[in-house]
Amino acid sequence: MAEEFNHELLCVLSGFGGQGLLFAGKVLANTGLIDGRHVSWMPSYGPEMRGGTANCSVSLSDDAIGSPFITRPTALIAMNQPSVEKFAASVQAGGTIVIDTTLAMDGAAGVQLADDVKVIAFKATEMAEAAGLKGLANIICLGRLWAETHFCTREVLDAALAKCVPAKKQHLLEPNRKALQMGIDLAQ
């Protein structure tokens, strides 16, 4: 029997510039491209690139996507407190929020969330550094989101990651795979 996956995902990935949220968003978008689904990937990094809050929005759907703007995401990856404060309250009922509490120490405390929003909070940056995977907390968070939402099959997720690591940086593919697996394993 074929592995089932969630056919629609409206995800915002947000954090400080330099945390790799745009890269994680590209991996997410490429899962849809590989699957032949409709995809929208919209980065927002302008002047925030160096330390301010940067984000990207990714839509995956079996149906045409009317707009790249996501005002009511079904999922959020937030890697700092300003990102939690800016986006968490907009997550749809039944949605999923993955928070890196290394830089978002308050998590979603004090944020008015919709009904049945699942909040998954853990110290992704600390985990990455402890495992010798500095700079890959973004991929750990992506792996944890996948384990919760199954936005594609595992084979497609692995293929998208391999596609997004440039040929000249192939030495980074295996550390990215390890980070992805760490995030997935958190769901066990």
pLDDT for 117 equals 97
Residue 66 lies in a domain: yes
0.85 exceeded by pTM: yes
Mean pLDDT of 148-162: 97
Which whole number is the average pLDDT over 160-170?
Answer: 96
Helix spans in the chain (H) = 21-35, 81-87, 124-130, 137-149, 154-164, 173-185
Q: Are strands 53-61 and 9-16 parallel, antiparallel or unpaired?
A: antiparallel
Say if residues 73 and 93 touch (Cβ distance below 8 Å): no
pLDDT of 72 higher than 90: yes
Asked whether residue 160 is assigned to any structural domain, the reply reads yes
Phi then psi dihedrals of residue 186, to 5 deg:
-60, -25
Tokens of 154: 């595992």
List the CATH number of the domain containing 170.
Answer: 3.40.920.10
Provide the domain limits for residue 121. Answer: 9-185
Any domain includes 2? no
Total number of domains in the chain: 1
C-alpha to C-alpha distance for 79 and 145, rounded to whole angstroms: 13
What is the per-residue pLDDT for 4? 62
Residues 55, 90: Cα–Cα separation, whole Å: 14
1, part of any domain:
no
Mean pLDDT of 9-18: 94
Residue 165 lies in a domain: yes
Q: Is 61 among the domain residues?
A: yes
Over 80: is that where the pLDDT of 49 sits? Answer: no
pLDDT at 51: 60
